Structure 1
Amino acid sequence: MLNGIWAKIHKWLALLMALQILAWFASGLFFAWYPIERVRSEHMKAEAPAAPVALDAAASGLAALGREGVTGERVELRVLLGRTVALVTPREGRPRLYDLASGRAASPISALAAARIAEADHEGDLRAAQVIAVTANDSEYRAALPAWRVDFDDGEGRSIYVAADTGAVTARRSTLWRVYDFLWGLHIMDWRAHENFNSWLLVVTTVLGLIIVVSGIVLLPSRLGFTGWLRRKRAFRSTDRSI
């Protein structure tokens, strides 16, 4: 009787959960197969030595910005496209780049500058195929805005995102990453944003999957014939005692 109840639970829950269980196993296999570094296109990032910053020129440039009334909570010096720049981050508001040689604001950067930054970041000598302005986050890009999406015709659907305010590469995407992200959405059952893995839907579905596993374990002795063998053994002992 008890085995019959467990069998029904196991059968109907497995039927109800079949597609999601398939999605869990298929996506899990995909995640295990591809290294995350490849998914993130880290293997296509160009090796570039850090460019030295001329501190004397930077100091005079910063002094000129100070005389112009430029203030910030944090200042970072870097070399961007061969020019020494200062990234000034205020307490509130968007960060801004300044060319320390001219004292002029260098951000938001242009589409041409974003293409050059992406080309320098990408391994090899490929040129940008197109540059698209990004003004809103979506399932593919969730980082600093506004930004530029720089696409490459490399056979792998490669896209590099460059923040317009800082000139920094904020994301690298490819066809492999998009497939990974789609499967991740199926895996955590967040089909829209692909990022919420604390939903009640996932919790309830996982509990049901756990019940399927437990009921399968309970039914395992019966399916292997152990229960029938034990029943026959007890019947034989009972018969033997009665003789």
Structure 2
Amino acid sequence: MKFMRKAHNYLGLILFIQIGLWFLSGLVMAWLPIDEVRGNHLKHAVTTSWHNVTVTPSDILRHHSSAAVLSLTHRINEVDHADPNTLDAIPVYHVVDDNIAYRYSALTGEALQTMQESAIRKAAKGQYAGTGDIGETRLLSVLPQEVQNLSAPLWQVNFDDDLNSRFYIDPNTGSVLRVRTDTWRLFDFMWMLHIMDYKDRSNFNTPWLIAFSGSAFLFTLTGVALLYKRFKPKKKKR
């Protein structure tokens, strides 16, 4: 019992800060609404009119080799829509042939080029459901940590709203791939503290997390043993 008590005390001294951070970060992440963290409330829906298609996949593939792979995608329509809660998108055929990507309008069959900044700004404004205005717009070849799991290049569109919102937009489709706000950044910071991955913020198997979790388990076991010793029923003497 003396060893248990000493181990419990030393483990408590080592763990009390991290255990507090685990409880605090878990509380904050549970308190923040996940839709607001993801920024879903800042995006309008995008609808693609595939029922208006006039060009078939075979019409497109006849201009490519037999090894070409076709998939369906879309591109944000640059024409303003009457309904502010929805945004039209042009149906698009995406073809990969000999490791080269091609995009064709499924309405006309014409080849589509990468969207320019003016079209990106219009697509961003059309998908934005907030109250701010568009600020700086940049084409990124190196992505920041908050979208490190995506592939460059991406357009970063900043809005001057209360949440410092950012849209990360695909330059080929005009679609918003990620929304980042101060709410997301707070959640991400708490997530970093919770899993103890201070670099990529995505690794559950860090040595720090394993070591502290194991120590916290030992801290719990020693505490249970001490409680049992303290409150164990005593045998009555005759």
Q: Secondary structure of 1:129's partner?
A: strand
For residues 201-216 of structure 1, the aligned pairs below 5 Å read: 201-216=208-223
What's the CA shift for 1:122?
1.5
In structure 2, the CA distance between the partners of 1:156 and 1:216, relative to structure 1 (3 Å rule), is same
Q: Which has the higher strand share?
A: 2
Give me the TM-score of the superposition, normalised by structure 1: 0.79
What's the CA shift for 1:185?
1.0
For residues 12-161 of structure 1, the aligned pairs below 5 Å read: 12-51=10-49, 54-56=52-54, 58-59=55-56, 63=59, 69=64, 72-76=68-72, 78=74, 80-81=76-77, 82=79, 84=90, 86-90=92-96, 93=99, 95-99=101-105, 101=108, 103-107=110-114, 109-124=115-130, 126-141=132-147, 142-161=149-168
State the number of aligned residues. Answer: 225
What's the CA shift for 1:187?
0.7
8 Å CA contact retained: 1:39, 1:177: yes
Distance 2:46 2:212 in 1: 47
Q: Secondary structure of 1:90's partner?
A: strand
Q: Larger radius of gyration, structure 1 or 2?
A: 1
8 Å CA contact retained: 1:53, 1:78: no
Aligned partner (choices 160, 167, 170) of residue 174 of structure 2: 167
Structure 1 unaligned blocks of 5 or more: none
Q: Aligned AA for 1:136?
A: V
In structure 2, the CA distance between the partners of 1:97 and 1:131, relative to structure 1 (3 Å rule), is farther
Give me the TM-score of the superposition, normalised by structure 2: 0.81
What's the CA shift for 1:125?
6.0
- Write out the 4+ residue segments of structure 1 that deviate beyond 3 Å after TM superposition: 47-53, 65-72, 82-85, 91-102, 124-127
What's the CA shift for 1:85?
5.2
Structure 2 unaligned blocks of 5 or more: 80-88
Give the % identical residues: 25
Distance 1:6 1:125 in 2: 59
Q: Which has the higher helix share?
A: 1
Over the aligned positions, Cα root-mean-square deviation in angstroms equals: 2.8
